[in-house]
């Protein structure tokens, strides 16, 4: 049970976590901290938070759990202010989509209290942003990856694990570098591809006709191109090396498709499509 939960950044993820924990009866009081008064007011009106604060030291005073749910590019400014005002006995965690860069910022910013910082990433979300898009069941049966460091306090880790389990999630552990390498392929690359395809189409001479005749496949493939551009810019830059590896591999594989189509190689295309279809059918069974 959390007595006082402070969520820094009451958007899709922060708002959904607040709703899930409230529904589970796992938290007594939820404080929201954010940049814009409008968003915080909306969070109050929706009943997502009990109280809003626009001062970070005031927001975290007396909190036993602090969740950083701002875009990856804004983590550093928050962590640097948080370090000197962190209450005793508080546990800090984050939901950022890249772990190595957040950990590299948190270690010097939090100093000795870094042991009470538990890096995390819920593998759940939508292309929507903001508290109005938050959902109480967003994390139900979804995976949350925690990436503790050697110095992470085991009791802090247990408290963060218990919080996510109360929100309905299944918790897994990974080293941060493995997380960033895997998510570069499973999440960051697909977002870049969706943005790239959508942007290619809007710059196409026939863009109006293409969009008027857009198929379900086009809509499915580009759905995540409606995601927040600033958030995804930050993720791409924060996970630069792993994303570059994934992009280069994809670029080479796309080149193989170009060559197969050029030489009219139906056998290669069918074998490749069949291998991919089997893999995708298997994924459907796991969901």
- Phi, psi angle pair for 68, to nearest 5°: -90, 115
- Nearest-approach distance from CB 109 to ligand NAP, in angstroms: 14
129 binds ligand NAP (CB under 6 A): yes
Q: Which of 22, 96, 159, 179 is in the footprint of ligand NAP by CB under 6 A?
A: 96
CA distances from residue 111 to 83, 94, 114, 191, 206 in whole angstroms, order as listed: 7, 17, 6, 34, 56
- Nearest-approach distance from CB 261 to ligand NAP, in angstroms: 34
Cα gap 263→245, rounded to integer Å? 28
Radius of gyration from C-alpha coordinates of the chain: 21
Q: Which of 95, 106, 183, 236 is in the footprint of ligand NAP by CB under 6 A?
A: 95
148 binds ligand NAP (CB under 6 A): no
Q: Which of 77, 199, 253, 271 is in the footprint of ligand NAP by CB under 6 A?
A: 77
- Nearest-approach distance from CB 237 to ligand NAP, in angstroms: 12
Residues touching ligand NAP, count (CB under 6 A)? 30
9 binds ligand NAP (CB under 6 A): yes
Q: Return all residues near 239 (Cβ < 8 A) that are at least 6 apart.
A: 97, 98, 100, 101, 180, 183, 184, 188
CA distances from residue 177 to 92, 116, 152, 180 in whole angstroms, order as listed: 20, 20, 16, 5
Which tokens sit at 10? Answer: 């009451």
101 binds ligand NAP (CB under 6 A): no
CA distances from residue 164 to 108, 118, 212 in whole angstroms, order as listed: 26, 12, 42
6 binds ligand NAP (CB under 6 A): no
The gap from C-alpha 161 to its chain's centroid, in whole angstroms, comes to: 17
Q: Which of 2, 59, 70, 115 is in the footprint of ligand NAP by CB under 6 A?
A: 70
Please report, as residue ranges, which positions from 13 to 42 form the binding site for ligand NAP (by CB under 6 A): 13-14, 34-36, 39
Cα gap 176→46, rounded to integer Å? 35
Cα gap 151→177, rounded to integer Å? 16
Q: Which stretch binds ligand NAP (CB under 6 A): 3-11, 47-55, 143-151, 191-199?
A: 3-11
CA neighbor of 52 nearest in space, from 10, 23, 84: 10
Binding pattern for the stretch 150-189 against ligand NAP, x by CB under 6 A and - elsewhere: ----------------------------------------
63 binds ligand NAP (CB under 6 A): no
Q: Write the DSSP string, 138-204.
A: TTTT-EEEE---TT--HHHHHHHHHHHHHTT-EEEE--HHHHHHHHIIIIIHHHHHHHHHHHHHHTS
190 binds ligand NAP (CB under 6 A): no
57 binds ligand NAP (CB under 6 A): no
Q: Which stretch binds ligand NAP (CB under 6 A): 68-76, 177-185, 266-274, 275-283?
A: 68-76
Q: Which of 119, 120, 125, 136 is in the footprint of ligand NAP by CB under 6 A?
A: 125
Binding site for ligand NAP (CB under 6 A): 8-14, 34-36, 39, 69-72, 74, 77-78, 95-97, 121-122, 125-126, 129-130, 228, 231, 235
């Amino acid at each position: 049970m959390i007595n006082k939960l402070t969520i820094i950044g009451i958007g899709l993820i922060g708002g959904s976590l607040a709703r899930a924990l409230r529904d589970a009866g796992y938290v007594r009081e939820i404080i929201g901290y954010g940049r814009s008064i409008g968003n915080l007011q909306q969070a109050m009106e929706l009943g997502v938070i009990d109280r809003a604060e626009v001062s970070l030291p005031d927001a975290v005073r007396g909190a036993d759990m602090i969740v950083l749910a701002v875009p990856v590019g804004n983590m550093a400014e928050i962590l640097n202010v948080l370090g000197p005002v962190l209450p005793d006995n508080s546990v800090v965690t984050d939901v950022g989509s890249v772990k190595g860069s957040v950990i590299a910022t948190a270690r010097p910013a939090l100093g000795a209290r870094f042991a009470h910082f538990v890096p995390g990433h819920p593998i759940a979300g939508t292309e929507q942003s903001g508290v109005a898009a938050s959902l109480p069941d967003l994390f139900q049966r979804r995976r949350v990856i925690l990436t503790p460091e050697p110095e992470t306090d085991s009791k802090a880790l247990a408290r963060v694990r218990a919080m996510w389990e109360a929100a309905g999630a299944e918790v897994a552990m990974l080293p941060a570098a493995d997380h960033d390498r895997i998510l570069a392929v499973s999440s960051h690359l697909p977002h870049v591809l969706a943005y790239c395809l959508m942007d290619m189409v809007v710059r196409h001479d026939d863009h109006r006709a293409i969009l008027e005749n857009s198929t379900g496949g086009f809509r499915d493939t580009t759905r995540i191109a409606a995601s927040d551009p600033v958030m995804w810019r930050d993720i791409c830059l924060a996970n630069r090396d792993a994303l570059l590896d994934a992009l280069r591999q994809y670029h080479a594989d796309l080149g193989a498709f170009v060559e197969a189509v050029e030489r009219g190689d139906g056998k290669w295309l069918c074998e490749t499509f069949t291998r991919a279809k089997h893999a995708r059918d298997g994924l459907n069974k796991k969901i």
